[in-house]
């Protein structure tokens, strides 16, 4: 009975899942930002190339 109570109070798994979700959210935000920045840089270098 004590083992079952101990397992119900254990929150390490929930914490690990939360950290995983936070890491995934940060990764998605970083990929989105880098994609947008890449497009802007491409346009900038094309404009410079055309002006030269």
> What is the value of pTM for the model shown?
0.59
**6: pLDDT strictly greater than 70:** no
Cβ-in-10-Å burial (0-12, 13-18, 19+) of 15 comes to exposed
39 vs 10 pLDDT, higher one: 39
More confident residue, 7 or 48: 48
Cα separation, 45 vs 9, in Å, equals 57
pLDDT tens column, 14-48: 777 888 899 999 999 999 999 988 888 888 999 99
- Has residue 3 got a pLDDT over 90? no
* Model pLDDT, residue 11: 66
């Amino acid at each position: 009975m004590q083992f079952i109570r101990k397992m119900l109070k254990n929150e390490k798994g929930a914490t690990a899942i939360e950290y995983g979700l936070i890491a995934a959210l940060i990764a998605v935000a970083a990929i989105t930002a880098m994609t947008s920045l890449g497009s802007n840089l491409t346009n900038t270098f094309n404009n410079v190339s055309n002006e030269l």
